[in-house]
Amino acid sequence: MGPFRVLVADNLPPKVLEAVNRPGEFEIDDHSGISAGELKAIIGEYDALVVRSRTRVTAELLRAAQRLKIIGRAGAGVDNIDIHEATKRGVIVMNTPGGNTIAATEHTIGMMIAAIRNIPQAFMSLKQHQWERKPFTGSELYGKTVGIIGLGKIGREVARRLFAFECRLLGYDPLLAPELADRLGVTLVSLDTLLRESDIISIHTPKIPETVNLLNEKTLSLCKKGVVIVNCARGGIVNEEALLEALHSGQVACAALDVFADEPPRSWALVDHPRFIGTPHLGASTQEAQQKVAEQILQQIDHYARTQVAKNAVNFLSVDENIVPLIRPYFELAHRIGRVFGQLNAGRLKKVRIRFYGDILELPVDPIAAHLMMGALQGGDEPGVEFLNPVNAMAVARERGMEIEISKKEQPLTSHTNLIACDMETEKQTVHLAGTVYARNIYRLVEFGTYIVDADLSGSMIIIENEDVPGIIGKAGTILAAHTINISHLSSGRKKALKRALNIFNVEGVLTPQVLSELKAIQKVYRVFRITLEGNGQL
């Protein structure tokens, strides 16, 4: 077997490359600045590719990378890498989260102060040998209300520094626990409240479908007149045309951007506006950060080459290949249980207790629990995090203040030979769910709260809780039939003492809001949930 070959496509410190390079074993070829065409021509010779933000790893490039095993991003953002295509081709993608946190944080604070004090404009005036002061009168950070959208690593570090400026801090992050926000001195609010009350808005979310154009014509119109917008996160989160119009109208007093939808920008109209300041994506461009992420990514790739364990992978969970066939069904079961919870709209998760019973105890349970948490965080409609997967699900959950307990129980609670049970504690209630695997591709929900059921965990499900009286199932079936919705499986559970029942329908068809409204309107029905899982459902 030949050496593990690594191609570096973007600039990394030469001393770092030299320190890790081991000819004949772990060989690093520095092709910093290589063009897309040249990269495509030689990528087939390499086991690993290292990039920063410049190089775009497209589906076309990956199709030429027949030998490629891993892509390392020297930085946090991986939006320049086609994750779906990489996963499809079995190529691991890893990044270096946190390596440039301080650099990005300090750049944000610098941009914020530069914007409100007109520092760049005053400097340019001085460079023209003019001594003008009045046109550049600015504002203080002290006492201002600053809204932070996204309280991940960088957002929290920004909050800590702004707290020292004695700002009033508002935060919007659907996944952050209020207790953690309190420790930061941040008041969690809705996005609308943040927009309406903030003097300055700083963005720190990943670029995912839910955050693209998050600040647009409509949301900018909700802001205070004269608001300041700062974006050092990802281009495209702020609609640049809408921002330019808001600058023209005075709705936005000034804007500071380090990132753009297209880099370099296709249009320079926004950059040319006198109340706009910007930098060419310099958030992570410090000597310290570049050294740190370069060392980290090469160490991670080296570790993978020697052990086949991928650290900070965004699309891969390393499990002993000998147990993959045994553990894969439990991954799927756990993910489906998590997705059921995520779609119940039960409130913000605070604590999760996951318990394993039976044959499953012979397997490593932590990665199974990670699949459950991935489903729980993905299942709802709230914005999630960039590339949430089993690798980062636990870290994301704990980062947002969720307490997670994982335990193995020798004595099963039921007759099932394997069981995954969980209690999801939210700010509103505790939701209990348990599921099992009967056979290949047969997944069952066997406990929902205190109800004992036997529901098929696939496709589309309607869950109805009602008073335990005759006729509910028939009325529900009539409504579904009227809308050409077929029932493929039905499971019922009862609590005789409380005169309550739970009916879980697996259905095939299109569930419109009208259908759900009609089901909720059935007399004696308390609650109706719609759940969509992987499988043969059409919803």
pLDDT in single tens digits along all 539 residues of the chain = 689 999 999 999 999 999 999 999 999 999 999 999 999 999 999 999 999 989 999 999 999 999 999 999 998 888 899 988 888 788 899 999 888 899 999 999 999 999 999 999 999 999 999 999 999 999 999 999 999 999 988 999 999 999 999 999 999 998 888 888 999 999 999 999 999 999 999 999 988 888 999 999 999 999 999 999 999 999 999 999 999 999 999 999 999 999 999 999 999 999 999 999 999 999 988 999 989 999 999 999 999 998 877 888 888 776 766 787 888 899 999 999 999 998 997 788 889 999 999 888 889 899 899 999 989 987 544 445 556 777 778 877 887 888 999 998 876 556 678 899 999 998 889 999 999 998 878 999 999 999 999 999 999 999 999 999 999 999 999 999 999 999 999 999 999 889 999 999 999 998 889 999 999 999 999 999 999 986 433 22
Distance between CA atoms of residues 82 and 519, nearest Å: 42
User: What was the pLDDT predicted at 321?
Assistant: 65
Beta bridge partners of 254: 228
Secondary-structure percent of the chain, ordered helix, strand, coil, rounded to 5: 35, 25, 40
- CATH code assigned to 4-97+288-307: 3.40.50.720
Tell me phi and psi for residue 272, to 5 degrees: -75, -10
Query: What beta strand segments (E) does 95-236 contain?
Result: 145-149, 168-172, 186-188, 200-203, 227-231
Token match 């993905």: residue? 378
Side-chain-side CA neighbours of 371 within 13 Å: the count stands at 20
Show which residues are catalytic: 234, 263, 281
Q: How far is CA 186 from the centre of its chain?
A: 21
- Considering only CA atoms, which of 32, 29, 13 is closest in space to residue 21? 29
Distance CA 51, CA 44 (A): 16
pLDDT at 492: 95
pLDDT of residue 417: 80
DSSP 339-361: HHHHTS----EEEEEEEEEEGGG
Relative orientation angle of helices 472-482 and 513-520, to the nearest 10 degrees: 160
pLDDT of residue 385: 54
What is the residue type of 24?
G
509 with 476: CB under 8 angstroms?
Answer: no
Reply yes or no on domain 101-278 having CATH 3.40.50.720.
yes
CATH class of domain segment(s) 324-532: alpha beta
According to DSSP, residue 136 is labeled G
pLDDT of amino acid 319: 72
Sign of the Cα pseudo-torsion (164, 167, 170, 171, in order): negative
Alpha helices in 144-259 (DSSP H): 153-164, 178-184, 191-197, 217-222, 240-249
Residues paired with 28 in a beta bridge: 6
Fill in the DSSP letter of residue 270. Answer: H
230 contact partners, CB below 8 Å, separation of at least 6: 108, 111, 112, 115, 200, 201, 202, 203, 255, 256, 257
Q: Where do the CATH 3.30.1330.90 domains begin and end in the chain?
A: 324-532
pLDDT value for 534: 60
What is the value of pTM for the model shown?
0.73
CATH 3.40.50.720 region(s) of the chain?
Answer: 4-97+288-307, 101-278
pLDDT at 381: 41
Residue 333's alpha-carbon distances to 380, 393, 396, 533, in angstroms, are 18, 16, 21, 11
Q: What is the pLDDT of residue 535?
A: 46
